[in-house]
Amino acid sequence: MKLTLKIWRQANQDAKGAMHTYELDEVSEDMSFLEMLDVLNEKLNADGEEPIAFDSDCREGICGMCSLMINGEAHGPEVTTTCQLHMRSFNDGETITIEPWRAQAFPVIKDLVVDRSAFDRIIQMGGFISVNTGAAPDAATMPVPKDKADRSFDMATCIGCGACVAACPNGSASLFLGAKITHLGELPQGQAERNERVVNMAAQHDHEHFGGCTNIGECSAACPKEIPLDVISQLNKDLRTAMKQGR
C-alpha cells in the first residue's frame, strides 16, 4: 500500500504545531497502525529527521495508552484501540490525517502525545474503595447479584484512553466518569462512599476544564470498549441522589 499521511507535529507543549505531510510506500495491510508509524519513524530516522512521538504501551488493546484521532475518528474506523487497528482497514493511495486528542484538559506534550493526567486526578477524587487490607475475606460473605456483578464488570472495562473526550464536541469526560461511577456503584463495597464519590469526581471533572455533556452519543460510538450511554444516566442519577441527601 502507498499512503499519504498528514500528521500533527509540535516540538513541545509551548511550541506552535502544524500539520506535516509524509509519503509512505510498501505498507503491508497486515501491519497494525502503530507498526505503520514505526516504519515511518525508521524512515525519518534514516533521513536524519526527528521521529514522530506517539503513545503506546501494551499494543494488545488493554492498557489505554495509545490514542490518535485518525481521519476524524478516535482510534480510527474500527471499534478498537489504535494498536489493534490494522492497515487493511484503509485503502491503497488513501490520505490519512492523524491528530492528537484535542481538549483543554489534555494538553499536547509533543506531536501526538497528550497529557491525560486529568483522568488520574479524577480517579484520585473517588475512583476507589477505601477498605482495610488484610486477609482475603471468604468469597460468600458479601453476595453480589449476578446482573449487578456483570454490569459492574462491563463498566470496569473502561481503560481510560480518553477517546470519549476526543470524540465529544463539548470535550466532556462524562462517559469516563459514568463508567467509573457505575463500576463502583453497582457493588456493595462501593456504597459507603457513593455520594461523596460522585460529587468529588464530578467537581474534579469540571475543574479540569472538561465540558458538560449534551447526550449526543459521540463518546459511546468512539469507545473501544463499547461503554454504553446509560452510564451517563447513572452518573446523573447518582449526583441527583447525592444532592438530595445534602452533598
Cβ 70 to other proteins, closest distance in Å? 9
- Bridge-partner residues for 19, per DSSP? 8
Rounded CA separation 206/125 (Å): 12
Contact call for residues 87 and 1 (beta carbons, < 8 A): yes
Q: Which is nearer to other proteins, 71 or 157 (CB)?
A: 71
Cβ 116 to other proteins, closest distance in Å? 9
Q: Which is nearer to other proteins, 84 or 204 (CB)?
A: 204
Q: Please, where are the H alpha helices in 72-217?
A: 117-124, 146-155, 163-167, 174-185, 194-207
Cβ 137 to other proteins, closest distance in Å? 29
Write out the three cell numbers for 167.
Answer: 470524540
Q: Which is nearer to other proteins, 55 or 99 (CB)?
A: 99
Q: Footprint of other proteins on this chain (CB under 8 A)?
A: 6, 8, 19, 69, 71-73, 97, 99, 102-107, 115, 117-118, 121, 124-125, 167, 169-172, 198-200, 202-218, 220-222, 228-230, 232-240, 242-243, 247
Q: Which is nearer to other proteins, 2 or 20 (CB)?
A: 20
Cβ 136 to other proteins, closest distance in Å? 31
Contact call for residues 63 and 38 (beta carbons, < 8 A): no
Cβ 179 to other proteins, closest distance in Å? 13
Q: Which is nearer to other proteins, 160 or 211 (CB)?
A: 211
Report helix angle 230-244 to 194-207, nearest 10. Answer: 110
Sign of CA pseudo-dihedral 131, 137, 139, 140: negative
Rounded CA separation 102/69 (Å): 9
